[in-house]
Chains A and B, each alone.
Chain A
Amino acid sequence: MTTPTNAIETLVNQEYKWGFVTPIEQEIAPKGLSEDTIRMISSKKAEPEWLLEWRLKAFRHWLTMKEPNWQNVHFPPIDYQNISYYAAPKMQSGPKSLDEVDPELLRTYEKLGIPLEEQKMFAGVAVDAVFDSVSVATTYRKDLERLGIIFCAISEAVHEHPELVRKYLGSVVPYTDNFFATLNSAVFTDGSFCYIPKGVRCPMELSTYFRINAESTGQFERTLIIAEPGSHVSYLEGCTAPMRDENQLHAAVVELIAHDDATIKYSTIQNWYPGDKEGKGGIYNFVTKRGKCLGRNSHISWTQVETGSAITWKYPSCMLVGDNSVGEFYSVALTNNYQQADTGTKMIHIGKNTRSTIVSKGISAGHGQNTYRGMVKILKGAAGARNYTQCDSLLLGDKCGAHTFPYIEVKNPTARMEHEASTSKIGDDQIFYCNQRGMSKEDAVNLIVNGFCKEVFRELPMEFAVEAQKLLSVSLEGSVG
């Protein structure tokens, strides 16, 4: 018989199921970062002059910046000259119809459980598939176009809707924002663009599936979602990467803009390769995500389930500018083996009667280190602002850690703030209780972990809530002997 502590220690033997490499001919830029690299990326995408200028401004600014070091994660210095900034499967041009997509790529997405043939898709989900630096396919575009909804690769939007891209790109996350966002502004390659016209309720989930394939490359995608007055959209992103011994950098930027009475719901299921059991390899997921509730009664909701990456470092945030606007952040972050996560949110209350809700669930297993870092800022003009924060940590085993850093800044006396926090462990007695009712140790851990995450899972679109539960159980598989 194993001792109970051993039982929990063993919680970590699951193989990463998405770790394969697609054997496809790719065009990969030589390693290194200079103005020439940026000109090369820009010319590959035949970009207009203004965008190249914007990139170069960002790059020049980046050269003056230092990598931040306040975060509670540890990694060796990144050599930015030892990364390739562009990798693309060889094909004629941008994504057109599915018939033109390399069958090898279609097989890749099939293997990942994301079949791109529309008839095989989850009913009611449109997908933009981004493979390394380029978007390879976008489904349901015609159906969406009939409603005036634009859903395409951002590289296409630059050509087809330059006025929109130019107006909004960098309007939420300026190119000077932070080290990684600035780097992204200089070298971003692809990502999704969504535009929901006035009064339109998007009839299906929009989603982007990001896949890193090439070796020694970074992925720098950029997503821009604009919701015009009275519109509504639910967007989901998923991500995976091959298993490699090296660490790969993923530095994305996501910008959301919600006008009067508009709602954007943004869900993430992040499953980048987390590294092996000894902590070798895995993705560095350093991402800037921010939404601007620009209009009155606008609403932005972030839901994230973070199970992958060697290091996750991100704070999906809301700037609550419009009066009565609402920001929400629901998060499950799991760290197993040697994974590290420093994640949370920022809620900046600017308009009157703005409201925000933060629910963060951190799960640590193995040697995982999990940090919640959140900021709630109530500015002077934000009369009647309200915030509710709940942040819970669950520990499995005795070698992992959970940390909480809440920052609160209130400049208006009418604001109301609530903060609740808890830390708990899965007890041997809880597992034994489930065992005594016939459940295996793994089922018991899954049941308890899913119960812990319930408040977040119910914010996910139905199909994905099921996916998230499965993913969580896979990420924890083997953690109980």
Chain B
Amino acid sequence: MLKINGLRVKVGDREILKGVDLTVRAGEVHSIMGPNGSGKSTLAQVLAGRETYEVIAGEVLYDGRNLLELSPEDRAREGVFMAFQYPVEIPGVGMAQFLKAAVNALRKHRGIEELDAMEFLAMVREKIKLLGMDEKLLHRSVNEGFSGGEKKRNEIFQMALLEPRLCIMDETDSGLDIDALKIVANGVTSLRGPERAIIVVTHYQRLLNYVIPDYVHVLVDGRIVRSGGKELALTLEEKGYGWAEQESRATARAGK
């Protein structure tokens, strides 16, 4: 579904991603782990189409198409969803209105009839129950006055509502207490399916206790230095990112 080849990205004069390769197939859950500043969030943002990042080399193929050519909204319409690390507040814009605009933008793109207010409410109420969230959410302004946990749950709720094919979760676990973490994890787990791929970007191993990844990749200084199964996350937890860095240097030397 997603194929990243030799991706290099810079912000201003600084190169953040220095050649990333990654292949994600439908049905898989990949975790990208790494220390602060390793480029994890950059990778997520570049996939979503954030314009502050400049791609200087490499390619990203999504279902064989050049993803980087698409505008952020077209990526979303094609089924790429990013759960934000810091969801922004939009005062005055009700959640219901916001979600309806999002759902209808996607439906329109797919040539399905847009939902009217009544149909939309019926659909959204059903989803909100599934995630065990309060319906009052719909009457609040987008993320305004939400607690950290509410914001993250709201992201997962939107993910459930928009039914994307490729989900990118940008440090969704950061700043969550254990209860909120479980709720978020359950939400993600319920979205796993054969047609859908999920990329979980995280600093800590703890989310992976609840969302079991098929693959774990370690990103250090803009490169994936190690890939493995779910047990890699545990090794990392035990030995720290320093270990992975040393390993990568050793590999680099051996390669020369």
What is the interface of chain A, defined by CB distance below 8 A to chain B?
Answer: 1-4, 7, 424, 427-430, 432-441, 443, 447-448, 450-454
B73 touches A440 (CB 8 A): yes
Given contacts A1-B51, A3-B51, A447-B93, contact A436 B76 (CB under 8 A): yes
| Interchain nearest-CB distance for B223 vs A (Å) | 25
A435 touches B72 (CB 8 A): yes
Given contacts A432-B50, A447-B97, A451-B141, contact A439 B92 (CB under 8 A): no
Interface size class of B (residues with CB under 8 A): 20 to 34
Interface centre among B73, B101, B141 (most CB of A within 10 A): B73
Residue of B nearest to A3 (CB): B51
B105 touches A437 (CB 8 A): yes
- Which chain A positions have C-beta within 8 A of B87? 433
Interface centre among B52, B81, B141 (most CB of A within 10 A): B52
Residue of A nearest to B52 (CB): A4
A438 touches B102 (CB 8 A): yes
- Which chain A positions have C-beta within 8 A of B90? 430, 433-434, 447-448, 451
B92 touches A443 (CB 8 A): no
Scan residues 151-179 of chain B and give those whose CB is less than 8 A from a CB of chain A. Answer: 158, 162
C-alpha spacing A452/B159, complex, angstroms? 26
C-alpha spacing A410/B75, complex, angstroms? 57
| Interchain nearest-CB distance for A361 vs B (Å) | 9
What is the interface of chain B, defined by CB distance below 8 A to chain A?
Answer: 48-52, 71-73, 75-77, 81-82, 84, 87-88, 90-94, 97-98, 101-102, 105-106, 109, 141, 158, 162
B101 touches A436 (CB 8 A): no
C-alpha spacing A439/B105, complex, angstroms? 6
- Which chain B positions have C-beta within 8 A of A433? 84, 87-88, 90
B88 touches A439 (CB 8 A): no
| Interchain nearest-CB distance for B16 vs A (Å) | 17
- Which chain A positions have C-beta within 8 A of B105? 437-440, 443
- Which chain A positions have C-beta within 8 A of B75? 436
A447 touches B50 (CB 8 A): no
A-B contact pairs, 6 of them (CB 8 A): A4-B52, A432-B72, A436-B48, A438-B76, A439-B101, A450-B93
B88 touches A427 (CB 8 A): yes
| Interchain nearest-CB distance for B108 vs A (Å) | 9
- Which chain A positions have C-beta within 8 A of B73? 435-436, 438-441
A2 touches B51 (CB 8 A): yes
Selected from B50, B97, B141, B162, the residue in CB contact (under 8 A) with A438 is B162
- Which chain A positions have C-beta within 8 A of B101? 434, 437, 439, 443, 447
Residue of A nearest to B84 (CB): A433
Selected from B49, B91, B98, B106, the residue in CB contact (under 8 A) with A435 is B49
9 pairs of A and B residues whose beta carbons are closest in the complex: A451-B92, A451-B93, A438-B105, A437-B102, A435-B72, A438-B76, A435-B73, A429-B88, A438-B106
| Interchain nearest-CB distance for A451 vs B (Å) | 3
Residue of A nearest to B91 (CB): A451
